[in-house]
Amino acid sequence: MIVLDIDQLYFDEANPIASGLKSSFSKGHLYYIYGRNGIGKTTLFKTLAGLHQGYKGKIDIEKIPLIDFSPQERAKKIAFMFQTETVYPFFKVHEYLDLANIPNAENSIKEDEYKLFITQGLQLEPYLDRYLRELSQGQFQKVKLATCLLQMTDYIVLDEPFAHLDLIQKERMNIFIQELVTNRNKCVLLSTHHFDLNFKSNNHTLCLTSTQLKILNENSKERLIELLST
């Protein structure tokens, strides 16, 4: 379980982004996190992934403070899919996917099975031998998601994974993530702006505002819009 208890989230202490963020995230559950543009979703996700230290408070992963993890140990626990960075153009898709092995150099056969499950599930097989620069943004989005999942962590943080995807791909990817959470007991936090997602009993809706990370008891679009408007 991840326990989040952040008093203040900031870039520098004079400019706080959000405060009073308290929540916990368990394995076997999927959390959709909504929030207005610029409210700090990406910063919160980077903080959870250990890439941003600008906060007061604490984050524990399975009762161990996040700051006590070495970079490599942290990468074995939590994976982060981020929004696009410029990528070296000579990466082939299969080479980019192989990067996920870096934290777990000792991975064996299990990894190959899992890799097949992910690449088939996300329908990446037709373009495994293509360069990243030859892919559309939507295809690249799926490659990034696959690399993140192949890191084989229990906790997964996905920053707007449905960006650039068409309606069908978005729904497929959502269902794939839901199945992964249920069948492989993963804990996934996912930021999105889409309201029309298929929803299951182990899914939760959260809304990030500058003063709270509010869990909505029911998947109510009206309540979410109300919170986003405040």
Q: Is the dihedral of CA 115, 118, 124, 125 positive or negative?
A: positive
Compute the distance between CA of residue 161 and CA of residue 3 in angstroms, rounded to an integer: 23
**Residue 14: Cβ within 10 Å count:** 6
Nearer to other proteins, 42 or 210 (CB): 42
To other proteins, the closest distance from the beta carbon of 205 in angstroms equals 25
Q: Using CB under 8 A, which residues numbered 62 to 121 contact other proteins?
A: 70-76, 79-80, 82, 85-92, 95-96, 99-103, 105
To other proteins, the closest distance from the beta carbon of 8 in angstroms equals 22
**Burial of 206 per CB tally in 10 Å (0-12, 13-18, 19+):** buried
To other proteins, the closest distance from the beta carbon of 227 in angstroms equals 29
Q: Which helix (DSSP H) or strand (DSSP E) does residue 25 occupy?
A: strand 16-25
Nearer to other proteins, 7 or 112 (CB): 112
To other proteins, the closest distance from the beta carbon of 156 in angstroms equals 11
Q: Using CB under 8 A, which residues numbered 35 to 64 contact other proteins?
A: 46, 49-51
Parallel, antiparallel, or unpaired: how do β-strands 30-34 and 2-10 relate?
A: unpaired
Interface residues toward other proteins, by CB under 8 A = 46, 49-51, 70-76, 79-80, 82, 85-92, 95-96, 99-103, 105, 131, 148, 151
